[in-house]
Amino acid sequence: MHNAFSRAVRKLPQQSLLLNQSFQQFKTQTSLVYNSAASLTSTARNLHPRSVKHRATKASLAGISKSKPSFGTNPITPTSLNSNASRNNLQSNMYGRRVSVALASVLVGYGAYYSSQSGNQTATASLVNKGATNAAQAAGALPTRQVLIIGADELSTGTFVGEGPISKTIGDNTQAVIEILDSEQTDAKLRNLEESYLVNRGEGVVRYDLAQVPSNNPIEDDHAEKIVNVPGKLTETSAPNSDWMFWGVFDGHSGWSTSAKLRQSLIVTVARELNATYSAAPDYNPSAESIDKAIKDGFLLLDDEIVNKSVEKVFAKDSKGVAAEVLAPALSGSCALLSFYDSRTGMLRVACTGDSRAVLGRRNQKGLWTATALSADQTGSNPDEEARLRKEHPNEPRVIYAGRVLGGLEPTRAFGDASYKWTSQTISKLKEKFFARSSPMLSRTPPYVTAEPVVTTTKVQPENGDFMVMATDGLWEMLTNEEVVGLVGKWIDANGPPAPGAAKPVSESIWNKLVGRSNGKLPVDKSEIETAADGSKTPVRVAQWNMASDDSRFVVQDKNVATHLLRNALGGKNAEQVSALLTLPAPFSRRYRDDVTVQVVFFGNGPQGQNTMGEVVLNVEASRPMKEDASPKL
């Protein structure tokens, strides 16, 4: 062991050679003492990108991972980590000893590698058996950090004692040592992609918040927001101007390029189709069916551009460079959830392609919030979607196989995913000259996947304080519709109306205030809870993380309501679990959580600003610090 240590020291900067002169003292000061963790049985789903995602398994983490994931991107000088300690692995369901965090201070993201950003290693950490208590006791006065040790097939918890840097090692065991995020770092990561805007236009919307937490690197989710000011002549004679307001969340898979394309183009394409439809209608008042058709046409036109027009362009240019850029959105894929609010009519339309979900929150006469789904998850587990595909492909019994399209793709509707849409001839030509994925093994009569959305229509009640939550499927794996709506209600109770002019809470009885709220229950009516008979996803993560399923786990501490939902989805009051889950780096984190994007839109009759063309302002207290030149996206 001494020789191994000496060899490692020779790789360090000159000043670190002093460590070799006091090896035993160094072991005392920088020993890494392992915490014992109970052997765990995994009941989790092995989550990977959508093409191989959400398969239930009872295998251990070692059994799930067949390859050795690589963590970190910056080259660093290896640090010798020698250990004879026997480690108890933490498996994918995250069960812990006596704490529901399951990782017992284990499991953060950016900045998680304590020394991966530094090429200057100044110390060597030694892993010693937990039984070596003398070293630990002698080092008791030194700083300690809780760390997560990631091996190729396992996770282990540890306590680092000493001043030295925590490093990853490069060797046969492919280990990486990660420092657990503290509370300040956890908050910073939760808030890193949060934004909040006050909409002072007097057109039925007073505020919207959004937040994202990545799991993939880079995040494959995206979002877009836009207001189109509609002149009176486009609505009815002598009518005042009104607003078309759009919000979109896009859940990418197999890469980020398709969702980025949707961020750039979907709202513009749909708005163009709506403009043509309104302009052609008598008195600028098209039928509901015509409006729905315009939205669907916009979706299909953009997907045709992504999947088919791109092929024409590539063959015309005959350039691999062009092919690499133009085909990227076709080769990856994305779900899309787009909401369209017409302030003149108060009608809210939600167009869903894939398995992102929108839910409406509305107060009832009891002063409680009710949750109404505005979309249905379009996956192979949805009976309606399965019936549609079997009708379109009658002689293919495995068109839906294991709950997936041809056994591979989970969403039945999506943008891109061209390997499920192109003919075998097109794929062969592209593979011969440029780039393409092979057809799925069971493919016979493509296309199997469509971007055509299902559109629902709801009359919004701004005067009643309605709100809408839109989120990618990562949120709905952690919370139910009722929990999400109740959490927004709990946030409103704690923070007051979301903006000036928003509806104030309905007065409640003394009993409801003292008993209903003080006991931690969410202010949501659960008497008519929707079932998952339509194939909608349920919060599988609650069981995976061994979390309590009651309302006592929730907390209110964020100014941004979307961040508030993310915090509670990841653990709520259990701050240790929130930090733990955010510590895992990509790609390992995908076993435990997905990318998540959340938008919350508050409806209300707020005051109209002086400038009706741009009275949308950043809500500073609920937004991460932004650059001076940052501007609202609406």
Nearest to 334 by CA among 439, 473, 195: 473
So what's the architecture of 188-622 in CATH? Answer: 4-Layer Sandwich (3.60)
Query: Are 568 and 489 in contact, with CB atoms under 8 Å apart?
Result: no
| pLDDT number for residue 457 | 98
Q: What whole-number distance in Å separates Cα of residue 512 and Cα of residue 388?
A: 46
Contact 612, 593 (CB under 8 A): no
* Per-residue pLDDT, 103: 34
* Residue 287: partners with Cβ closer than 8 Å, 6 or more residues away: 281
- pLDDT average per 10 residues of sequence, the chain (634 residues): 42 39 38 33 35 36 29 28 32 30 31 32 31 43 69 61 56 62 93 96 95 96 96 64 96 97 98 96 92 99 98 92 93 98 97 98 95 97 97 97 96 98 94 86 96 98 96 96 97 86 50 48 82 65 74 94 97 91 88 96 78 76 73 52
pTM of the model: 0.75
Taking Cα atoms as reference points, which of 433, 501, 510, 496 lies closest to residue 462? 501
Cβ atoms of residues 236 and 224 within 8 Å: no
249 φ, ψ (degrees, to nearest 5): -125, 140
Residue 209 contacts residue 561 (beta carbons within 8 Å)? yes
Look at residues 299, 289, 294 and name the one whose alpha carbon lies nearest to residue 352.
Answer: 299
Q: What is the pLDDT of residue 237?
A: 54
CA-closest candidate to residue 582, choices 77, 292, 180, 230? 180
* Spatial distance between the Cα atoms of 136 and 139, rounded to a whole number of angstroms: 5
Tokens found for residue 80: 């010798």
561-570 and 575-583 are packed helices; what angle lies between their axes, rounded to 10 degrees? Answer: 90
Neighbours of 210 (CB within 10 A): 26
Token pair 């929730």 is found at 554
SS3 sequence of 481-535: HHHHHHHHHHHHHHHCCCCCCCCCCCCCCHHHHHHHHCCCCCCECCCCCCCCCCC
| Separation of alpha carbons 566 and 211, rounded Å | 8
Q: Delimit the domains of the chain by residue range.
A: 2-179, 188-622
Distance between CA atoms of 559 and 54, rounded to whole angstroms?
33
pLDDT score, position 433: 87
Burial of 217 (0-12, 13-18, 19+ CB in 10 A): middle
Backbone angles phi, psi at 272, to 5 degrees: -65, -40
**Residue 71: which residues within 8 A CB-CB, separation 6 or more?**
113, 150, 168, 176, 585, 588
